[in-house]
Structure 1
């Protein structure tokens, strides 16, 4: 049986200090059919491209004007010819078996359009910690079957930063042809994943750390500015789910699914805005979440899904704590 082909895509901006480590991890993969490695140089002003050409002449370097990570990933996607596209940020690395494990999972689950994984975060001056999806740490594999489950899954406690990391993503190349490329106006890959699940694709989660994510002390994702960026991202996603609008989500979602997604996204935005210190934005989204939360309906939903979905069970059991935490913090700032 022919092994599926994989294209590795690495967006890079002034990555001279880390690109060699990232590429070493790609070429050390145990999977034998990575047919191309594409570095999308996002307008670097250092010698990133020269380092790649000298040390990894087999890799392809594509130059583009600076447009951000999503734009650079899109450049790589457009040139990728593999059956799958695997993403890696230029300052991160993969463990050797990552590609093999993820491609095997996608072969076993043909309905899965995207597979991601846990990651290990290495922060300067701190102990190494495993991150991402800690609420389902006991699961070897989780199938996210709908975009509302996805929104539930990415809604973390405010003291965590558990959004999926792009360096863990593997996507079927054909999916981009059907759903479009990544949104270059939004940070990270969350919008693309929500859009893909809204269109009926499933996301598989490997319950083990297969990528290593490096962050400097005081990294933006942990800062107030980073948290506020996440809150505004959630705010933007919410607006796309408005059935009175003209976006793709409005045409695809039933009223019930829309209401559940808006509730989860509103609570998600409230938590992050509160954590970032934006009291007005947090209060607005909390009011929206509470307005959509019908206790009887939520309890019934949790009883039906709790046995099947760890994320749904977590949602039901932590709802009170999450709302009380936001309300308490907002009250304390009066």
Structure 2
């Protein structure tokens, strides 16, 4: 395989009533050298004058798509389908790209395998009282130059290091992966990232390429989505597909646990979850699954009580012991991340 050639990048921001925060995000894109091929901002039904603000402040430098409010998944899908670039670079409206992001990614594109699906960098995380980075929190050590992730799923679980604002995703790979499932109100990025990692090579760079807000704003997408049923439903879909493709029992166990998390989230909203509870048996029948099914058939209250039990808290997907895939700490012997050039010729045979 030959490395990829220079390619065009479409930057996409999705926003909803974020007029006061949006300028920082847009400015961080327009200040890049080189600039992206196009900047598309999808306004998802804002009522705070966001489209007028964008047109008055940025004119022809950005393309504004205004649409009725249908949620982040549908808005991102709209942006991808409207994009004309070979690669898509996302940014949330309350985050920012780091200086030099596109130049770092351009070098990585040149060195990556021709069928690479995603290139991601590190993210600076800004909390109320401190800052950190995704790579340091996930235990990924420092690397030099673009690295091909030998175990692509290690970039997705147990810690999703390939955050969407820090990724450059091939448009073709997004389309193959379903380009965001519109009926998911949260964690749609996790599902599409899993699907890409299952199908294509993944490359990482150590540079910090985005600045991500983790101050816990009430309107934050991540904060709103963590306790929602779709937070777990996306994981049900992701773990099911991973279990089917890899055939590994650890992913099957994660799938069953995600199903229980989904049911508990539904029960906390007072909704029945009998049909969903049956999905635990997709791959195997366990005593825990049978007991939980009995609780589910007794109604929402028993399922909520199951969720409150200390022994079940560890049953939630984000707290489970993950499949034993090696996590990259260094790029030396035994690491699951190695220079792209070293693996380029033999990647197809793995």
TM-score, normalised with respect to structure 1: 0.69
Aligned twin of 2:197: 197
Contact 2:105 2:168 in 1 (8 A): yes
Partner Cα distance (1:74, 1:182) in 2: 6
Per-residue CA deviation, residues 101-141 of structure 1 (Å, 9 max, x unaligned), is: 12321221124211222212223x42333335633442325
| Structure 1 stretches lacking a partner, 5+ long | 155-161, 243-247, 311-334
- Which residue is equivalent to 2:172? 174
Partner of 2:154: 149
Q: Tell which deviates more after alignment, 144-153 or 12-21.
A: 144-153
Deviation at 1:227, TM superposition (A): 4.0
Query: Residue 20 of structure 1 aligns with which residue?
Result: 23
Q: Which residue of 2 aligns with 1:36?
A: 38
Shift in CA distance, 61/127, structure 1 to aligned 2, threshold 3 Å: same
Assess, with a 3 A threshold, how the Cα gap between structure 1 residues 149 and 95 changes in structure 2: closer, same or farther. closer
User: Which residue matches 1:255?
Assistant: 247
Instruction: Name the Cα RMSD after superposition.
Output: 4.1
Aligned equivalent of 1:3, options 3, 6, 23: 6
Find the residue that maps to 1:77 and give its secondary structure: helix
**Runs of 5+ consecutive residues of structure 2 not aligned to the other structure:** 265-303, 338-350
Query: Separation in 1 of the partners of 2:65 and 2:245?
Result: 38
Residue-by-residue CA offset, 1:220-252 (whole Å, 9 max, x unaligned): 7799975434x863454335654xxxxx667x5
- Partner secondary structure for residue 86 of structure 1: strand
Look up the SS of the partner of 1:19 in the other structure.
helix
Shift of 1:208: 2.8
Partner of 1:331 in structure 2? none
Residue 174 of structure 2: SS of its match in structure 1?
A: helix
**SS of aligned partner of 1:30:** coil
Which is worse superposed, 39-48 or 176-185? 176-185
Change (3 A) 1:12 1:35: same
Q: Is the 1:270–1:286 contact (alpha carbons within 8 Å) kept by the matching residues of 2?
A: no
Q: Residues of 2 paired with 1:79 and 1:223: CA distance?
A: 25
Q: How does 1:140-289 map to 2 (within 5 A)?
A: 140=143, 141-145=146-150, 148-154=153-159, 164-186=162-184, 187-188=186-187, 189-198=189-198, 200-217=199-216, 227-229=226-228, 233-234=231-232, 236-238=234-236, 241-242=239-240, 253-256=245-248, 259-263=249-253, 280-281=306-307, 283=311
TM-score in terms of structure 2 length: 0.66
- Measure the CA separation in 1 of the matches of 2:258 and 2:45: 34
> How many residues are paired up?
282
Q: What's 2:281 paired with?
A: none
| Displacement of 1:152 | 3.1
C-alpha distance in 2, partners of 1:224/1:82?
31
CA distance in 2, matches of 1:222, 1:177: 23
Q: Pick closer, same or farther for the CA change 1:268–1:204 going to 2, 3 Å.
A: farther
Change over 3 Å in CA distance of 1:192–1:3 after alignment to 2? same
Aligned mates of 1:109, 1:117 — CA distance in 2: 14
